[in-house]
Chain A
Amino acid sequence: MDFELLLVILIDGLVYSSYLFLVAVGLTVIFGVQKVLNVTHGAFYAFGAYLTAFLIGLAANGGWPDSAGFLIILVSAIFLGIVLGVIIERGLLKFLYDRDEHIVVLATFAAFLVLEDAILLIWGTDPYLAFQPLALLGNSEIAGLIFDNYALTMIALSFVIAFVLWYGLNRTQFGKVLLAVIFDREVSMAMGINVTKVFLITFIIGTFLGALGGAYHAPIISVQPGIGVEVIVLAFAVVVIGGMGSIPGALIGAIVVGISRAAAVHILPEVELFVIYTIMALVLIIRPEGLFAPIKARKI
């Protein structure tokens, strides 16, 4: 295998990994704190992509500079994080925390179906393109190969998000509270922590991250119906591989999946579609709790 191919696989893989990480990290945050496997996450992603693509299109027609796209990405993700996060957490999940975990997954699946159609009602079935931020940053050449700079910034964004989350969780007051809630919900309630508020804030953060994933991808994909369905299973795979609820796990899971998919695409394209799920199955077989989650004692 020559060096050039290796480099392509590495860079392509890292770009794809950062894509996966952006999508999966919100899912893992919500699972880690609330123990909810949130299928609605796919719709958050789709909402983020649609709103951003729509607004970037408007801005371009209104004669705004192309760089406004980055502001739009951030603002729409924050907006969606708050609006959708509050609606889903307060309007749905609040009533289900004491129910069977499968029921909760199914409820989020139902909410996902509802939101998918809401997207179609708002934006219709035509694809949206928002290439302005992509065009603005141009290309760069690495070892004779051309890469989009925009895709490369995604890698940086992933590391920034990973660092912010790590810092927030381990070095701030809210992070300490969060860890207490993760460790034991009832005891932290007894200690005077407002768990309801913690849950709501976590869910808003998770939703924001999902929407940000979609928003940041909007310029490099064709925003069309069905993107949410595809993304959510990928995010599941990443989260399962890394260990559900673990942020470093999501990072490692994304890198493992991203690189192996890139390798498959360049070396053995036939297996591209299922290499990810094969890894997921293997990890579940060998280490069901994921590569990074601590092993828990079985409760009797």
Chain B
Amino acid sequence: MTRLMDKTFWGLTLGLVALFALNFFLEEWMRTIGLQSLSRGLVAIGLLILWRAGLVSFGHALFFGFGAYTVAMLQIAGVRDIFLLMIGGIFTAGMLAFLLGFLLRQYRAIFFALLNMAFSMILYGVLAKIESLGSTDGIGIERATFLGIQPGDDNYRFVLFIFAIGFAYISAVCAHWYLKSTLGMMTMAVRENEIRVEYLGYSAEKAIHSKYIISGLLAGAGGVIMAVTVGHVDPDSMVYWPVSGDFVFITILAGTGNVSATFIGALVYELLRTYAFEFAPEIWQLILGGSLLLIIMFLPDGLWSIRSEWRNRRALRAANRAQATTGTE
């Protein structure tokens, strides 16, 4: 089992414990930021898995919105428990990804990205017309219960945050283990040379399909958390195309080096957005777009590359020192 318990696993576990402890001291608005970061972070993990296979989706708001609207529909049907909502959201988004996957696994590059976008825009158009789900105004989401227990007003966020942290932890660890497995390692092989993968006896399309389903499940879960956090779902903030753009933004910001970086990226994005909106409401998009440009230009592998850069430098310095000492001898 030592192979599974690697540095990333312990890092994530440390993060889990730290967040659990921190939850006792956080203000309400900080928890909201935390919940939204976890929600978007989950979607970005799915995108990271696809990205490693060389695929970028400009339409994952499709699954995100599907998860969020499943919460709304289940609520209409009388279901309010967070565990059931989560299972429902993951299941519907996963089913959708499974079905669409048969089609999308045949596409690569810009066609994959745009076909995803087309599907998300179809969902947008459909949702904007369904009146029982509030069409463009959206629909309010009541507070969820936790295994039948309704937390009070002052500790609802507290309990919800614990649930979200736990869920995100399990998902991130599973995603990390998946990426380390043979099937997960194939993402890079598919990216580098699909035909060789086929000659080695694997099916590149099946590998992509499985990654697509995983990313759909994660995006659905993110949508569920976002819906219960915000307490409202509407097509413009859940399914419209800039939402998908934001997810890709987080993936780039974090870099595709490691799943734990994704949550850091999502948190940075959320803080950037919140503070830009707070202090410069007129130019918050400008700040967001500007920072994205800076990252693309100067940190092409995302925030995670700061760490590897630092490591490389240290290794280089050590090597130089070693050379210097051997040189004097």
Contacts and interface: CB of A to CB of B under 8 A. Distances in A.
A232 B195 CA distance: 35
B290 A284 contact: no
Contacts, number: 118
A102 B283 CA distance: 25
A251 interface: no
Interface string B97-110: 00000010001011
Nearest to B109: A101
A300 to B, nearest CB: 6
A271 B126 CA distance: 8
Contact of A117 (B56, B125, B195, B286): B286
B110 A101 contact: yes
Interface string A89-111: 00010011001011101110111
Contacts of A285: 103, 115
B107 A114 contact: no
A274 B297 CA distance: 36
Interface stretch (A7-15, A151-159, A195-203, A233-241): A233-241
Interface string B230-269: 0000000000111001001100100000000000000000
A273 B125 contact: yes
B288 A113 contact: yes
Contact of B296 (A37, A103, A118, A300): A103
Binding site secondary structure of chain A: helix
A103 B252 CA distance: 8
Contact of B289 (A101, A103, A113, A281): A113
Contacts of A300: 195
B292 A110 contact: yes
Interface string A238-280: 0010001000000000000000000000000011111101101
A229 interface: yes
B137 to A, nearest CB: 15
Q: Which of B56, B115, B121, B252 has the most CB of A within 10 A?
A: B121
A278 B122 contact: yes
Given A106-B296, A284-B118, A113 B285 contact: yes
B128 interface: yes
A127 B293 CA distance: 29
Interface string B127-158: 01100000000000000000000000000000
Contacts of B118: 237, 240, 277-278, 280-281, 284
A277 B121 CA distance: 6
B83 interface: no
A136 interface: no
B293 A277 contact: no
B283 A117 contact: yes
A274 B121 contact: yes
B279 to A, nearest CB: 14
Contacts of B293: 92, 107, 110-111, 114
Interface residues of A, number: 42
A37 B286 contact: no
A143 interface: no
Contact of B125 (A92, A95, A102, A274): A274
Q: Which of A105, A107, A277 has the most CB of B within 10 A?
A: A277
Given A274-B126, A281-B119, A120 B242 contact: no
B245 A109 contact: yes
Given A105-B113, A107-B293, A284-B115, A117 B121 contact: no
Interface string A69-104: 000000000000000000000001001100101110
Nearest to A101: B110
A32 to B, nearest CB: 13
Contacts of A105: 58, 110, 113
B325 to A, nearest CB: 40
B114 interface: yes
A292 to B, nearest CB: 15
B300 interface: yes
Contacts of A102: 56, 110, 113, 248
A117 B128 contact: no
Interface in A102-136: 102-103, 105-107, 109-114, 116-118, 120-121
Nearest to B297: A95
A284 B288 contact: no
A120 B287 CA distance: 13
A95 B293 CA distance: 11
B194 to A, nearest CB: 9
B329 interface: no
B209 to A, nearest CB: 16
B117 interface: yes
A294 to B, nearest CB: 15
A236 B290 CA distance: 24
A288 interface: yes
A236 B245 CA distance: 14
Contacts of A121: 282-283, 286
B296 A281 contact: no
A271 B300 CA distance: 41
B114 A284 contact: yes
A116 B129 CA distance: 27
A109 B59 CA distance: 14
Nearest to A240: B114
A274 B110 contact: no
A118 B242 contact: no
A181 B110 CA distance: 21
A101 B110 CA distance: 8
Contacts of B91: none
Contacts of A103: 252, 296, 300
Give 8 nearest A-B pairs by CB, closest first.
Answer: A274-B125, A113-B289, A273-B125, A117-B286, A110-B292, A114-B289, A277-B121, A102-B56
5 contacts: A106-B292, A110-B292, A113-B288, A233-B117, A274-B121
